[in-house]
Amino acid sequence: MIPAQKGDIGLDLVLDELLDLTLYQELHKTSGGELKRTLGELIPVETRHLAFWKEFFKIERAELDLRRRVKLNALIAACRLFGPVAIQLTLEAIESYGIRKYLEVWRRYKDDALGKAVYGILKDEFEHEDEIVARSSKGKLEPGDIKGIFLGLNDGLVEILGAVSGFFASLQEPRLVLMASSSVAVAGAFSMAAGAYLGASSEREVQKIEEGRDEFLHRKRGSGGPAARPWRAALLVGGSYFLGACIPVVPVMLGARGLEWPLAAAGVMISCVSLVLAFLSGMQVRRRVLINLFISSGAVAVTYGIGTLTKRFWGIPLP
């Protein structure tokens, strides 16, 4: 007899494996080349995992619940819309989520039968599945690039939303708010691009030193990750920051005379960016979205307060 607590964990494990298997089967139908081959190799692995957990927890039938069906359809739609890059990122995100989930279960139950069962699945995750997914990513857009893009978007959104809030509180004139926030957005984009360039340049110098050391010592080089590309990092981070910064500015450009529309536009986009970042990093989606919305709300409140105090104590005459 399986305890109720472990039974709940078992159902989650079975349904998660069923979701992954169904997703891979659907994507396999429309993929081509190396990705089709990768999905074809992952399907038997997930089939084996699903069968193992159903047998382990004595679950004869399993159907996806509403939440997982919505997630499945959303992932399929995104992968078909954005193509191979989205599929590769989805595979890596699912791999990260699976490892985090199984590690949590293993740490909790490592001294009993469930822990020993998870140990075998983790070996598959760390060895076979990891190798399959990594092989299919060679020569493609790096996941780090995508994460950099979304982080730049998020930074631009939050920073310029705060700036727009402060400018509305102090200036109260949409034309002045537009001028000031646009200037901040451009300056911020250049600052972010410069920071990304310097960071990637430093990383590349370290990589060159490691390459020289391996060459001198006649050591075989490990994978070590992709080579840092400073200009690419600068363009991706700076450009995505500027795009994110435009979200709260565009409503003002279109005639918004208060904070309502900038807040609404930025809130929707912040939620979407947070959702993607949570998925890519394996973090709980709800937690990530709430944290980001809380931080953004704090930025709005603080900058609006600063703008109000600035107008009250120093005064800003309007034309």
Q: How confident is the model at residue 131 (pLDDT cuts 50, 70, 90)?
A: low
Listed ranges 106-110, 219-223, 278-282, 291-295; the one with the highest mean pLDDT: 291-295
Query: What pLDDT score was predicted for residue 2?
Result: 47
How high is the mean pLDDT of the chain? Answer: 81
Chain segment 188-201, per-residue pLDDT in tens:
999 999 988 888 88
Please determine, for residue 1, whether its predicted confidence score (pLDDT) is greater than 50: no
Query: What pLDDT score was predicted for residue 286?
Result: 79
Q: How confident is the model at residue 248 (pLDDT cuts 50, 70, 90)?
A: very high
Lowest pLDDT segment from 112-126, 234-248, 256-270: 112-126
Chain segment 145-162, per-residue pLDDT in tens:
777 787 888 899 999 999
Tokens of 147: 């994460």
Query: What pLDDT score was predicted for residue 226?
Result: 64
In this structure, the number of other CB atoms found within 10 A of the CB of residue 294 comes to: 10
- pTM (2 d.p.): 0.67
Please determine, for residue 80, whether its predicted confidence score (pLDDT) is greater than 80: yes
Q: How confident is the model at residue 186 (pLDDT cuts 50, 70, 90)?
A: very high
Query: What pLDDT score was predicted for residue 315?
Result: 64
Q: What value does the mean pLDDT take over residues 245-256?
A: 91
Please determine, for residue 290, whether its predicted confidence score (pLDDT) is greater than 70: yes
**Distance, CA of 175 to CA of 319 (rounded, Å):** 11
* Half-sphere CA count of 253, side-chain side, radius 13 A: 11
C-alpha distances in Å from residue 284, one per residue of 97, 154, 281, 287, 289: 9, 17, 9, 5, 9
The architecture CATH gives domain 4-136: Up-down Bundle (1.20)
Query: What pLDDT score was predicted for residue 4?
Result: 44
Q: What value does the mean pLDDT take over residues 36-60?
A: 87
Query: What pLDDT score was predicted for residue 238?
Result: 92
Query: What pLDDT score was predicted for residue 224?
Result: 53
For the chain, give every residue range classified as CATH 1.20.1260.
4-136
Q: What value does the mean pLDDT take over residues 200-206?
A: 83
Query: What pLDDT score was predicted for residue 189?
Result: 92
Please determine, for residue 182, whether its predicted confidence score (pLDDT) is greater than 70: yes
**Distance, CA of 294 to CA of 123 (rounded, Å):** 38
**Distance, CA of 305 to CA of 302 (rounded, Å):** 5
